[in-house]
Amino acid sequence: MTEPAAYGFLAGTFVGFAAGYVGSLMVLKRMALVGDALSHVALPGLALGILFNFNPFLGAFAFLFAAAILTWYIERTTRLFPESIVGVLFVTALAVGILITPEVDLLEALFGDITTVTLLDAVLAIGISVLIVVVSRLVYRRVVLSILSEELARSTGINVALVNFVYLLLVTVVVAVGIKIVGTVLVGALVIVPAAAVKNVSRSLSSYALLSGLAGIASAGSGILLADYLRLPAGPLVVTVGTAIFAGALVAGWIASRSSSTAPRS
Amino acid sequence: MVAAPPPSRSPTREAGAAADVLRVAHLGVRLDHAPILEDVSFHVRRGTTLAIVGPNGAGKTTLFRVLLGLVPHTGTVEWSGSVRIGYVPQNFVVTDVPITVRDFLGFKSGAGFEESLAAVGLGSAVLPKRLDVLSGGEMQRVLIAWAVLDRPNVLLFDEPTATVDIGSEDMLYESLNRLEKETNITVFLITHDLHIVSQYSDAVLALNRTVRFFGASSRFSEPELLMEIFGSGAGLAEHKHDFGARGFR
């Protein structure tokens, strides 16, 4: 394994756990496609970074952050659902991004390039991933309660608007760090697929969150190792492994539900 | 408006109910410029049960949202002393979320699950069950256990038996009955069931954007009064099965 690939593997496993953990909330919020769409908003930021010679991922984060603030604000002040808001932002950002991204760099922006991960990139990705998981853990219960019943959450003193904002910020940051691993097109899958997979087999909320993170590690780590071995791009392989985990969990959940429904009642 | 002071229904209650736990005066709520509640005034004595009735869209749930501090309003809403409110919402349905009863109760407190569940007639065996496999009656009782977990002195119930069958409804009101006796809690109860009003409440607030009646629940069953408030197609359901002599007292 080359040095950049090793850095990529290290960063990928941490980002995979953070993405799975945050993704577990997105799946519960039924915002799976919002995460996917939001990731594309990063493209103009990446393009500006490439054009004006600054770190493209700072540009991506700035655009994602602005999109998150805009989504949160429009959601609070209008009757539009986040899906609609992000949908509009997504197509606009994608159109602008494709127009201004230099053609030679477009492929890396869209699909990521694990072979260019530096030590600094890896350290940053690990630090940010740890921070994401810590903050997610702090707000996790409040987000879930506001998903179950906003009124119930507010009646217990939870500031639902603030919790939603922190949650959107977490999505933004995890998407920004995930772009380096799998690119803007596939980062939505890095966030969603692990959580969607383990929801089929999770018996409780705590096991669901933890298993989502572990499935994220499994798909990112295995995908990057496979990419290094097969000399193929990491992004598509990370997503492919995630999809295999999803299929396996689906079958396991189906078998478990069949055996529990046919078990003799005591 | 038809108004009469809500008397207490037992001597012990009368002795302990000198203070109002809530006084609402000239309450008004507008949503999207439309009036939802207008000039609503009433008061509730500590340790009593107030039934809130009225047709759909009368503003009953909005009133609860005001009492919880969730909705901007005009007029005054004055709670006396330190009030800890437990709330059981209407239409709490959980589908496809991997969350157990233990997870759910854990959102509010780290301990005391068994005691709260016992108060509503549930054992600790329900703790590892997922919310989405509970029956309607079990779910409502878990919600009540949630509401009483941090020992509130006021409980708000928004149609607690709207989604449960008659057998479960019976058990649910038995649980509420036991809780009220043991804790001297003040209960606000939105219901469409005339039987529940007469059997389980001290006072009735009939709403239809404004207050149509506020007074003792014993007066609320008078046919002339119901006709005056709701017209010939009275907007309440008469419950047919018999709970016997059980009540909140």
Residue by residue, DSSP assigns A206-237 as: HHHHHHHHHHHHHHHHHHHHHHHHHT--HHHH
Q: Which residues of A touch B100 (CB under 8 A)?
A: 203-205
A203–B130 C-beta distance less than 8 A: yes
Residue A177 lies in a domain: yes
Residue B249: its pLDDT value, please?
34
A202 to chain B, any CB pair closer than 8 A? The answer is yes
B108–A148 C-beta distance less than 8 A: no
C-alpha–C-alpha distance, residues B99 and A205, integer Å: 5
Per-window interface: A 215-244 vs B, CB < 8 A: none
Q: Which residues in B have their CB inside 8 Å of a CB on A?
A: 65, 68, 70, 85, 87, 89, 92, 94, 96-100, 102-104, 106-108, 128, 130
C-alpha–C-alpha distance, residues A240 and B116, integer Å: 46
* B92, B99, B130 ranked by CB distance to A144: nearest: B99
* A145, A154, A203 ranked by CB distance to B70: nearest: A154
Residue B241: its pLDDT value, please?
42
* B97, B100, B107 ranked by CB distance to A141: nearest: B107
- Number of domains composing chain A: 1
With 0-12 / 13-18 / 19 or more C-beta atoms within 10 angstroms meaning exposed / middle / buried, residue A15 is buried
C-alpha–C-alpha distance, residues B115 and A99, integer Å: 63
Q: Kindly state the average pLDDT of the residues B177-191.
A: 80
Averaged confidence pLDDT in chain B: 78
A207 to chain B, any CB pair closer than 8 A? The answer is yes
pLDDT tens, residue order, chain A (266 aa): 778 788 888 988 999 999 999 999 988 887 766 667 777 788 888 888 888 888 777 888 888 888 878 877 887 777 777 677 777 877 888 888 888 877 766 666 666 677 777 888 889 889 999 999 999 999 999 999 998 888 888 888 889 889 988 988 898 888 888 887 777 767 778 888 999 999 878 888 989 999 999 999 999 899 888 988 888 888 888 889 989 999 998 888 888 777 766 655 44
A208 to chain B, any CB pair closer than 8 A? The answer is yes
B98–A202 C-beta distance less than 8 A: yes
A24 to chain B, any CB pair closer than 8 A? The answer is no
Q: In chain B, what are the domains?
A: 2-6+19-230 (3.40.50.300)
Residue A265 lies in a domain: no
CATH number, domain with residue A69: 1.10.3470.10
**pLDDT per residue over B16-62, tens digit each?**
445 889 999 999 999 878 899 999 999 999 888 899 988 888 899 99
Please give the interface size between A and B, counted as residue pairs whose CB atoms are below 8 Å apart: 54
Residue A264 lies in a domain: no
Structure tokens given for A76: 């609070």
B98–A207 C-beta distance less than 8 A: yes
Residue B225: CB atoms within 10 A of its CB come to 18
A205–B98 C-beta distance less than 8 A: yes
Structure tokens given for A154: 């507010």
Whole domain around residue A113: which residue ranges? Answer: 3-258
ipTM: 0.74
Residue A68 lies in a domain: yes
Q: Which residues of B touch A145 (CB under 8 A)?
A: 107
C-alpha–C-alpha distance, residues A266 and A264, integer Å: 6
Nearest to B169 by CA among B198, B139, B132, B146: B139
Residue A34 lies in a domain: yes
Residue in B closest to A138 by C-alpha: B107
Q: Residue ranges of the alpha helices (H) in chain B? A: 11-16, 60-67, 101-106, 113-119, 136-148, 166-183, 194-200, 223-230
Residue B244: its pLDDT value, please?
37
A204–B128 C-beta distance less than 8 A: yes
Lowest mean pLDDT: which of B28-42, B57-71, B209-223?
B209-223
Residue in B closest to A28 by C-alpha: B97
Residue with the bigger pLDDT between B228 and A155: it is A155
Q: How far is A3 from chain B (nearest CA, A)?
A: 40
C-alpha distance from residue B177 to each of A31, B90, B169 (Å) = 42, 20, 12
Q: Which residues of A touch B94 (CB under 8 A)?
A: 148
**pLDDT at residue B8 above 70?**
no
**pLDDT per residue over B88-101, tens digit each?**
887 787 887 889 99
Residue A101's Cβ-side half-sphere holds a number of Cα atoms within 13 Å equal to: 26
A203–B68 C-beta distance less than 8 A: no
Which of B68, B84, B87, B99 to substitute to test the interface with A, most A CBs within 10 Å?
A: B99
A144–B87 C-beta distance less than 8 A: no
Percent pLDDT > 90 in chain B is 22
Residue in B closest to A207 by C-alpha: B98
Residue A18: its pLDDT value, please?
95
Residue in B closest to A141 by C-alpha: B107
